[in-house]
Chain A
């Protein structure tokens, strides 16, 4: 059984396996190349079965540019609002700063559950290596960019029934919001609800192919932004539920934010209609100190486009308080 096992680490691995502590096949390989995203990583040729998608409301990552791909081994169960992705689904998101690839984030659904990892690009952009689980304070090619820890991936992704946040009905609508902050032009061949239905990859989906948030253009963009950037934590389930602020959908956002008192400085409201300066929600998006910054991780630079948008939305609420939807 030990024939041919030479190094102490190899022996330790054999012993661990014999004890039943075998970590199993690596869910997250040591290099990005081995995740299968690229047919040729050195020339950055993406493998054809990894298909691009472009959510209409992107996450703000301090201005980093993004590209995303998904590999679907089988159709998605889209019969409920929280889509269930088949085992062996793989999803990537590549972040670039100043035109250079910095990190490629990776999620894979293994038989034992979802795994999260990120790969940090080398200086020549020819390969990316698995980052330590604790993350990195700074990336080689972009010193101001922090690489999140695995715990931070889970803090944003693992709160609801599905951890996939940007591949969902509203995000893949064919009716894209032109006013979404930092809206990205869909990459050629990007998947959307129409193409996924055409290929039969959305099993049980009965919704529209063009879902959109109702309301004025400002309100539509504001609530879409809050859905994508805040709804991962601020939802009715998960660890932040007790705060009682639900930004996942327009009705919940109106009910739990507009005119609702906050713990944040006694008399203040989360959203005070007509008074952006008195609205805690906006103050926390503008805050930079780590005690108050929202979101509390993944960003250290204020999203000016978004704070202007949210301020206009709060201004508009004075004329149009949506009292009918608050109950």
Chain B
């Protein structure tokens, strides 16, 4: 009797453990990778930083004509204001795409599939490596704040593949984001 109960409990556990969350539940429409990736991009806030804000009738709003194209190349930023000593540390441009802090100045990347200035030539594995390694192009310098790579890296390979499929499906926008500026003056790395 005891064994039967244990077996039954284990069977229930087995069924639960084997439930594949990416499978459609009865009656629901199965999301395609692109649809799933869109949801992940929206819930993980990629637009917050990678789509420039523009002033609209209700205040700043994402400029969806430039969705996910990163810091606008035409918007040359003057040097960030020097902050006085104290607990304020970071300055952000009005577009939410340029960030100045102890790491220097970072500009959010163009995530659209433009082949020259965005992720058009990227392979899925390179995107996964970029997020998991937290490195530019997957293998280069460490990514700068505030890119939350370590958090996004908690997604499964399937989720990251879906995210990449979505990013590759959005309209390509040509926009060459400037290279980051190190804490000391002068441009350093190439993009």
**A residues 237-280 in Cβ contact with B at 8 Å:** 239-240, 242-243, 262-266
Q: A240-B140, A296-B139, A296-B140 are in contact. Are A264 and B14 (CB under 8 A)?
A: no
Q: A11-B10, A290-B141, A292-B182 are in contact. Are A264 and B17 (CB under 8 A)?
A: no
Q: Name the contact of A292 in the complex, choosing from B133, B139, B141 (C-beta under 8 A).
A: B141
Inside 8 A of A262's CB, which chain B residues have their CB? Answer: 190
Is the pair B138, A239 in contact by a Cβ cutoff of 8 Å? yes
Is the pair B189, A16 in contact by a Cβ cutoff of 8 Å? no
Is the pair A155, B180 in contact by a Cβ cutoff of 8 Å? no
Main secondary structure, interface of A, reads: loop
Asked if A233 CB lies within 8 Å of chain B CBs, one says yes
Q: How far is the CA of A285 from the CA of B143 in the complex (A)?
A: 19
Q: A155-B139, A289-B182 are in contact. Are A263 and B104 (CB under 8 A)?
A: no
Q: How far is the CA of A12 from the CA of B14 in the complex (A)?
A: 9
Inside 8 A of B122's CB, which chain A residues have their CB? Answer: 239
Q: A263-B179, A291-B141, A291-B182 are in contact. Are A296 and B188 (CB under 8 A)?
A: no
Inside 8 A of B126's CB, which chain A residues have their CB? Answer: 239
CB distance from B152 to the nearest CB of A (A): 14
Is the pair A15, B139 in contact by a Cβ cutoff of 8 Å? no
Is the pair B17, A263 in contact by a Cβ cutoff of 8 Å? no
Is the pair B17, A16 in contact by a Cβ cutoff of 8 Å? yes
Asked if B94 CB lies within 8 Å of chain A CBs, one says no
**A residues 94-150 in Cβ contact with B at 8 Å:** 149
Asked if A18 CB lies within 8 Å of chain B CBs, one says yes
Is the pair B191, A263 in contact by a Cβ cutoff of 8 Å? yes
Q: A289-B182, A289-B188, A292-B189 are in contact. Are A239 and B129 (CB under 8 A)?
A: yes
Q: A15-B13, A239-B129, A292-B182 are in contact. Are A263 and B190 (CB under 8 A)?
A: yes
Asked if A151 CB lies within 8 Å of chain B CBs, one says yes
Inside 8 A of B129's CB, which chain A residues have their CB? Answer: 151, 154-155, 239
Q: A233-B139, A240-B137 are in contact. Are A264 and B182 (CB under 8 A)?
A: no
B126's closest neighbor in chain A, by CB? A239
Is the pair A19, B18 in contact by a Cβ cutoff of 8 Å? yes
Q: How far is the CA of A152 from the CA of B139 in the complex (A)?
A: 7
Q: A19-B17, A289-B182, A291-B141 are in contact. Are A2 and B10 (CB under 8 A)?
A: yes
Asked if B169 CB lies within 8 Å of chain A CBs, one says no
CB distance from B112 to the nearest CB of A (A): 15
Q: How far is the CA of A293 from the CA of B135 in the complex (A)?
A: 13
Asked if B174 CB lies within 8 Å of chain A CBs, one says no
Inside 8 A of A54's CB, which chain B residues have their CB? Answer: none
CB distance from A222 to the nearest CB of B (A): 22
Q: How far is the CA of A293 from the CA of B190 in the complex (A)?
A: 12
Asked if A171 CB lies within 8 Å of chain B CBs, one says no
Inside 8 A of A289's CB, which chain B residues have their CB? Answer: 182, 188
Inside 8 A of A2's CB, which chain B residues have their CB? Answer: 7, 10
CB distance from A207 to the nearest CB of B (A): 29
**B 70-82 binary contact with A (CB < 8 Å = 1; else 0):** 0000000000000
Inside 8 A of B180's CB, which chain A residues have their CB? Answer: 291
Inside 8 A of A233's CB, which chain B residues have their CB? Answer: 139-140
Q: How far is the CA of A269 from the CA of B137 in the complex (A)?
A: 22
Q: How far is the CA of A152 from the CA of B129 in the complex (A)?
A: 10
9 interchain residue pairs of minimum CB distance: A263-B190, A155-B139, A151-B133, A19-B18, A292-B188, A239-B126, A296-B141, A239-B138, A291-B188
Q: A12-B17, A264-B187 are in contact. List 20 more A-B contacts (CB 8 A).
A: A2-B10, A11-B10, A15-B13, A149-B133, A151-B129, A151-B132, A239-B138, A240-B137, A243-B190, A263-B190, A264-B188, A264-B190, A265-B187, A289-B188, A290-B141, A291-B144, A291-B188, A291-B189, A292-B188, A293-B141
